[in-house]
Amino acid sequence: MNSKERVHLAFQHEEADRVPVSELYINSPVATKVLGRLAYTGWSGFVRCEVMNGMLIQGRGEEFFLQEAIDLVELYDRLELDTVLIERPPLKDFTIPTPLDDATWRFEDRENKMYSVVHFDRKTDLFHTADSNFHQGGIDEFERYIGILEKNEIDLDRYNWSQAEYIVQKCGGRKFILAVVEIDFPPMSMGAIGGLFLEAMAFRTDLVERYLDYRVRKGLKFIEKYASMGVDAIFDGEDLAGNNGPLFSPGDYMKYYAPRFNMLSEAAHRHGMYYLRHTDGNITRFADEFLLHSGFDGYHSIDPEAGMDLKWVKENYGQKVLLMGNVDCGKVLHLGTKEDVVRDTLRVIKTASPGGGHIISSSNTIHSDVPYENYMQMLETVRKYGAYPINI
pLDDT digits (tens, 9 = 90+) for 287-300: 999 999 999 999 99
The residue among 76, 54, 73, 79 whose CA lies nearest residue 64 is 54
Mean pLDDT score, 307-333: 98
The confidence score (pLDDT) of residue 185 equals: 65
**Domain spans of the chain?**
3-44+60-93+138-385
Is the pLDDT reported for residue 237 higher than 60?
yes
Give residue-wise pLDDT tens across range 88-147.
999 999 899 999 999 999 999 999 999 999 999 999 999 999 999 999 999 999 999 999
Mean pLDDT score, 262-271: 98
The confidence score (pLDDT) of residue 187 equals: 54
Among 3.90.550.10, 3.40.50.1820, 3.40.50.1010, 3.20.20.210, what is the CATH number of 3-44+60-93+138-385? 3.20.20.210
CA dist., res. 108 & res. 98, Å (int):
8
More confident residue, 186 or 58: 58
The confidence score (pLDDT) of residue 190 equals: 52
The confidence score (pLDDT) of residue 153 equals: 86
Give residue-wise pLDDT tens across range 179-202.
999 776 665 455 678 889 989 999
The confidence score (pLDDT) of residue 189 equals: 52
pTM score of the predicted model: 0.96
Mean pLDDT score, 336-347: 98
Could you tell me where the DSSP H helices lie in the chain?
A: 3-11, 28-35, 45, 52-57, 61-78, 133-151, 162-171, 192-203, 205-229, 250-252, 258-270, 287-292, 310-317, 332-335, 338-352, 372-385
More confident residue, 275 or 191: 275
Give residue-wise pLDDT tens across range 200-226.
999 999 999 999 999 999 999 999 999
